[in-house]
A = this chain, B = another copy of it.
Amino acid sequence: MVMLTPAEQAALARLEERERQLRRGAVLLRERDPAAEMFILKSGIMMSSVMLADGSRQILRFHFAGDMLAVASLVYNEATETITALSPCTVCPFERSLFAALIADHPRIAALVMVFNQIERAALTDRLAALGRTSAKARVAATLIELRNRRRALDREITTRFTLGLTQEEIGDATGLTAVHVNRMLRQLEDEGMITRDNGNVTFTDERALARAANFVDRYAGLDLGWLPAAR
């Protein structure tokens, strides 16, 4: 989408010098723990979540390969979110000071980071609107579509069938529902012919209807990167 100069590529590569493996369920960073590191997610799927006073959990975001994690470490001394592996993962940790140097030296990379910030902001506000103003069924449908799309972005083989990789409780924590109600909504989507399920996999059987049920908006359409500053 955007061509990077060799110098820029080399600078980015420095962020990926170290690697760390995580098993499903492993916690990369826990809310309120001191944190001065950031991470690139190299492979696998992770999530970030927060815990509320009453012990309930809200999943904020799912992370896929290529995402930059714990960017809040730039600004906060303590982690604001818990980051957990949903599948076996590889992450590349780096110091925030290294990142600071990177954006000071490479304004175009700084600009690109802002681009991703804005895309993420759009994703968060879509979820906000979904939680505030859409039905349980719509939220579950939207979650299914988002998971499929992000998986598909990394693996062109994937079309209508994919591995969910989440428990129904996790879907509930992402959508603000109970696991029980998530189950009922999945059943309803199935009964209405929009999806079928077979142990952990979901198949979209009427994607049009599912997208309609989900109030889906594609945030990667309509991107415009023409404003980026010139390479240095």
Contact = CB atoms under 8 A, between A and B. Distances in A.
A72 B118 CA distance: 6
Copies in the complex: 2
Contacts of A74: 114-115, 118, 227
A52 B126 CA distance: 10
A223 interface: yes
A contact face: mostly helix, strand, loop, or mixed: helix
A176 B132 contact: yes
Contacts of A227: 74, 96-97, 100
A180 to B, nearest CB: 16
Task: Report the interface size class on chain A.
Answer: 35 or more
A57 B96 CA distance: 38
Contacts of A103: 107, 110-111, 114, 229
A31 to B, nearest CB: 10
A141 to B, nearest CB: 13
A7 interface: no
Interface string A51-64: 01100111010000
B72 A129 contact: no
Nearest to A60: B125
Contacts of A124: 121, 124-125, 128
Nearest to A126: B50
A131 B176 contact: yes
A6 interface: no
A208 to B, nearest CB: 14
Among A53, A74, A100, A129, the most chain B Cβ lie within 10 Å of the Cβ of A129
A196 to B, nearest CB: 26
Among A57, A97, A101, A124, the most chain B Cβ lie within 10 Å of the Cβ of A124
Which 3 residue pairs across A and B have the least CB separation, nearest first? A132-B176, A104-B229, A58-B129
Given A58-B133, A80-B125, 5 more contacts: A50-B129, A71-B121, A76-B118, A76-B223, A107-B107
